């Protein structure tokens, strides 16, 4: 018998026609079914093998090592699928993708795929604030209640915008039930809940990462001051994404969701339990409990982002979707003085403020060992004995986007195959391996032969003599 497509061998119609003729499948039918299972197994295995070897995209001459590392990560199983992009002096030099965009369906990654960036979205929201600061609509040093009088409730009257953006305000969670869908369905009620929240710690007593509420507070402030009453998502789309050609969306509209990758957890993860049992955790367990115990009722974990209704919510802490190329381009503009051709995104003065940390050390909630400026994470670098700081943001499961003003680099890595570790380190191995390969190439292009190391953790950076100029 010649091997045929199983669908032509045994169709549902044929099964029905023969149902009365036999109560049990014949040996021939069983053989066919076994052939089907074997063939499907071979197909699945072939797709998995292809996913581990095929890397598509563009690599400029001189950056081939980046492609080699990306492929090696796939072949070793460290990476199950992702997208990595680099802009160097506003020129695209790397844009590659490979592996699974949806492992369950066996769908391989494509150029146009849009991925949930999770907390990288916070930095995009911070860019919206920076845009308004640049236009003198907002002031980082001004009190939040100047723009939003109700925010002053429960002792928050002295909190400045930069303190809120650098996770110092203590409003890292809400102590009343709420949902992210309130942003869409009842923003005025959500605004009241946010304004009434008491600080979880006293201002001046450290900082603690605001995983969900960061973007909600920023969204309300933007609505208060924008003359069109736009939230972060609409402002970003109209003022930044469309004018600069950035394929990034805060809340993914349903008509674009056919491009979405499918989120999965590669490793098991119980956020609160994993957080507290980690030997690295040096935060405040009570602060962490307050944040984790009352998360949004409609946002229970990474996989809920696969719900189309959830994806489209315009939540500026977590619901950004885009390509790595879009984020690398966006950060690349900031790395090159805020200019793209004749267009200006941000002034150099505002970019300097983004680069300067306001807080550093272990945060009170998640125990992140990091630095924060006005909504951005800062990462230390030592190159040739000189210290510099990158700025950007991590995203759940190993995602990362950043800018380097020293070399004019914007870089981003996105994946839907999330590899959380302990809630603290966010598994940066994949990004750091690609980051190191990029700079090996750049230093050769620039004819430099100096040692360079990126320090993901703040404590490691200062331990080796890294210098941080904090705002006084």
Taking CB atoms within 8 Å and a gap of at least 24, the contacts of 238-244 are: 239/128, 239/131, 240/127, 240/128, 240/131, 240/330, 240/345, 243/343, 244/329, 244/330, 244/333, 244/340, 244/343, 244/345
In this structure, is residue 31 part of a structural domain?
A: yes
* Same domain, residue pair 365 and 386: yes
Residue 320 and residue 216 share a domain: yes
> Is there a single domain that holds both residue 45 and residue 188?
no
Q: How many CB atoms lie within 10 A of CB 429?
A: 15
* DSSP string covering 109-154: P-TT-BEE-TTHHHHHHHHHHHHHHHTTS--TTSBHHHH-GGGGGG
Please choose, from the candidates 230, 233, 191, the residue with its C-alpha nearest in 3D space to the C-alpha of residue 213: 191
The total of structural domains in the chain comes to 2
| Spatial separation of the C-alpha atoms in residues 221 and 231, rounded to whole Å | 8
Specify the DSSP element, H or E, that contains 327: helix 324-335
Q: What is the pLDDT of residue 46?
A: 52
Task: State which residues form the domain around 239.
Answer: 55-463
Confidence at residue 109, expressed as pLDDT on a 0 to 100 scale: 97
Q: What is the pLDDT of residue 228?
A: 96
- What are 303's two structure tokens? 């996989």
Backbone phi and psi for residue 299, each to the nearest 5 degrees, phi listed first: -135, 85
Indicate left, alpha or beta for 71 from its phi (over 0: left) and psi (-120 to 50: alpha).
alpha
If asked whether residues 276 and 266 sit together in one domain, one would say: yes
Do 43 and 79 reside in the same domain of the chain?
A: no
Task: Kindly give the parts of the chain with pLDDT less than 50.
Answer: 1-27, 29-30, 32-33, 36-41, 43-44
Report the candidate in 177, 209, 180, 181 with the shortest Cα–Cα distance to residue 193. 177
User: Do 327 and 459 sit in the same domain of this protein?
Assistant: yes
Residue in this structure with the two tokens 């960036």, named with its chain if needed: 117
Q: Shortest CA distance to 99 belongs to which of 426, 413, 441, 460? A: 413
DSSP state of 199: P
State how beta strands 264-265 and 343-344 pair. Answer: unpaired
Confirm whether 471 is domain-assigned: no
- In this structure, are 216 and 262 located in the same domain? yes
Asked if 72 contacts 66 with a C-beta cutoff of 8 angstroms, the reply is no
- Regarding whether 68 and 42 lie in a shared domain, the answer is no
Find the Cα–Cα–Cα–Cα dihedral 349, 354, 358, 359, rounded to 10°.
-160
User: Which single residue is written with the structure tokens 């492609």?
Assistant: 67
C-beta of residue 180 within 8 angstroms of C-beta of residue 231: no
- Residue 223, domain CATH: 3.40.710.10
Per-residue pLDDT, 277: 75
Q: Is 171 helix (H, G, I), strand (E, B) or coil?
A: coil
User: Dmax of the chain from CA atoms?
Assistant: 87
Q: Do 45 and 178 lie in a common domain?
A: no
Residue 468 maps to a domain? no
DSSP state of 465: T
Taking alpha carbons only, the member of 189, 312, 307, 202 closest to residue 250 is 312
Shared domain check, 242 and 368: yes
Q: Within a domain: residue 392?
A: yes
Same domain, 17 and 98: no
Distance CA 140, CA 352 (A): 13
Tell me whether residue 363 is in a domain. Answer: yes
In a domain, 1, yes or no: no
Reported as half-sphere exposure (CB side, CA atoms, 13 A), residue 265 has a value of 13
Short-list 166, 331, 224, CA closest to 232: 224
Q: Give the length of the chain.
A: 472
Question: In the structure, how many helices (H) and strands (E) does the chain have?
Answer: 19, 18
pLDDT of residue 292: 81
Residue 434 lies in a domain: yes
In a domain, 311, yes or no: yes
pLDDT of the residue at 22: 39
* Residue 244 sits in the same domain as residue 104: yes
């Amino acid at each position: 018998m010649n091997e045929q497509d199983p669908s032509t061998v045994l169709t549902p119609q044929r099964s029905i026609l023969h149902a009365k003729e036999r109560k049990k499948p014949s040996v021939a039918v069983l053989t066919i079914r076994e052939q089907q299972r074997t063939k499907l197994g071979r197909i699945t295995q072939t797709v998995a093998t292809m996913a581990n070897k095929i890397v598509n995209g563009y690599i400029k001459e001189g950056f081939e090592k980046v492609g080699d590392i990306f492929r090696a990560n796939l072949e070793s199983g460290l990476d199950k699928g992702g997208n990595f992009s680099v802009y160097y002096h506003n020129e695209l030099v790397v844009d590659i993708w490979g592996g699974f965009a949806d492992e369950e369906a066996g769908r391989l990654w494509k150029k146009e795929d849009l991925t949930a960036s999770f907390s990288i979205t916070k930095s995009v929201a911070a860019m919206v604030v920076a845009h308004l600061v640049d236009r003198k609509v907002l002031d980082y040093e001004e009190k939040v209640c100047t723009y939003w009088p109700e925010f002053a409730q429960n002792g928050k009257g002295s909190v400045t915008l930069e303190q809120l953006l650098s996770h110092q305000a203590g409003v890292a969670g809400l102590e009343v039930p709420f949902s992210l869908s309130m942003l869409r369905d009842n923003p005025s009620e959500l605004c009241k809940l946010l304004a009434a929240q008491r600080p979880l710690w006293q201002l001046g007593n450290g900082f603690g990462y605001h995983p969900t509420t960061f973007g909600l507070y920023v969204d309300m402030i933007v609505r208060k001051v924008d003359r069109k009453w736009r939230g972060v998502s609409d402002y970003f789309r109209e003022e930044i994404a469309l004018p600069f050609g950035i394929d990034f969306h805060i809340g993914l509209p349903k008509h674009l969701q056919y491009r979405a990758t499918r989120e999965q957890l590669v490793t098991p993860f119980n956020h609160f339990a994993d957080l507290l049992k980690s030997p690295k955790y040096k935060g405040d367990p009570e602060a962490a409990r307050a944040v984790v115990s009352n998360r949004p009722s409609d946002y229970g974990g990474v996989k809920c982002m696969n719900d189309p209704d959830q994806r489209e919510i315009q939540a500026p802490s977590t619901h950004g979707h885009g390509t790595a190329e879009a984020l690398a381009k966006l950060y690349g503009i900031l790395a090159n003085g805020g200019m793209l051709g004749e267009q200006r995104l941000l002034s150099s003065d505002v970019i300097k403020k983004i680069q300067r940390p306001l807080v550093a050390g272990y945060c009170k909630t998640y125990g992140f060992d990091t630095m924060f400026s006005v909504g951005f994470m800062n990462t230390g670098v030592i190159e040739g004995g000189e210290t510099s700081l990158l700025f950007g943001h991590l995203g759940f499961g190993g995602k990362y986007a950043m800018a380097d003003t020293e070399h004019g680099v914007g870089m981003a890595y996105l994946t839907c195959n999330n590899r959380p570790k302990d809630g603290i380190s966010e598994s940066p191995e994949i990004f750091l391996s690609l980051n190191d390969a990029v700079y090996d190439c750049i230093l050769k292009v620039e004819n430099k032969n100096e040692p360079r190391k990126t320090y993901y953790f703040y404590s490691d950076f200062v331990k080796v003599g890294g210098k941080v100029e904090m705002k006084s």
